[in-house]
Structure 1
């Protein structure tokens, strides 16, 4: 099953930090998916073996693409309740994104890249 654009963006954001690279082309993504340019409140949660491993919540002051990128990196590496995510944990974690849209709450969760 293909990962949604939002969940893939979250994974790519975390992977950029792990690999110390810049791979996300925001303008191309916005051109392909105009919704990413809308201002939408965003929550990103990271789970390891169904246990919360990091979380970050951002209000609707930024574009969705920026909220997902920022919240993913904060949940993975800056949540004060957890140590920064390791590469191994990244490969075994699942990510949940919750959006607070005018139409209501939308939530998506993916499977780990590698299953235990």
Structure 2
């Protein structure tokens, strides 16, 4: 099953840090998915075997694109309650993104890359 654009963006954000690269093409994403330019409070949670492994919530008025990127990286590597995510943990983790929209809360979760 293909991941949603938001979940893939969160995964790509974490992978950028792990690989020390810049691979996310912001301009292309905004052109393909104009909704990513909207200001939507965003939370990213990381789970390993259904246990919380990191989380970060952004309430600031940044674009959804920036919110997902920042929240994913901070949940993975800067949550003070956990050590930074390792590569093996990344491969076994599932991500959950929650958006606080005007219409209500929207949440989606993916499956680990490796089971």
Deviation, structure 1 residue 105: 0.5
Q: Residue 32 of structure 1 corresponds to which residue in structure 2?
A: 32
Q: Establish whether residue 14 from structure 1 lines up as the match of residue 20 from structure 2.
A: no
SS at 1:45's partner residue? strand
The Cα shift of 1:108 comes to 0.3
TM-score by length of 2: 0.99
Cross-structure match for 2:97: 97
Return the TM-score normalized by structure 1: 0.98
How far apart in 1 are the matches of 2:35 and 2:98?
15
Cα distance in 1, alignment partners of residues 51 and 34 from structure 2? 33
SS at match of 2:42: strand
1:67 is matched with which residue? 67
SS at match of 2:10: helix
* Structure 1 unaligned regions, length at least 5: none
Q: Which 5+ residue runs of structure 2 have no aligned equivalent?
A: none
Cα distance in 2, alignment partners of residues 52 and 22 from structure 1: 27
**After the TM superposition, which segments of 4 or more aligned residues of structure 1 sit over 6 Å from their partners?**
none
**CA–CA distance in 1 between the matches of 2:74 and 2:27?**
22
What number of residue pairs does the alignment pair up?
Answer: 115
3-state SS of paired residue (2:106) = strand
1:50-65 matched pairs, under 5 angstroms: 50-65=50-65
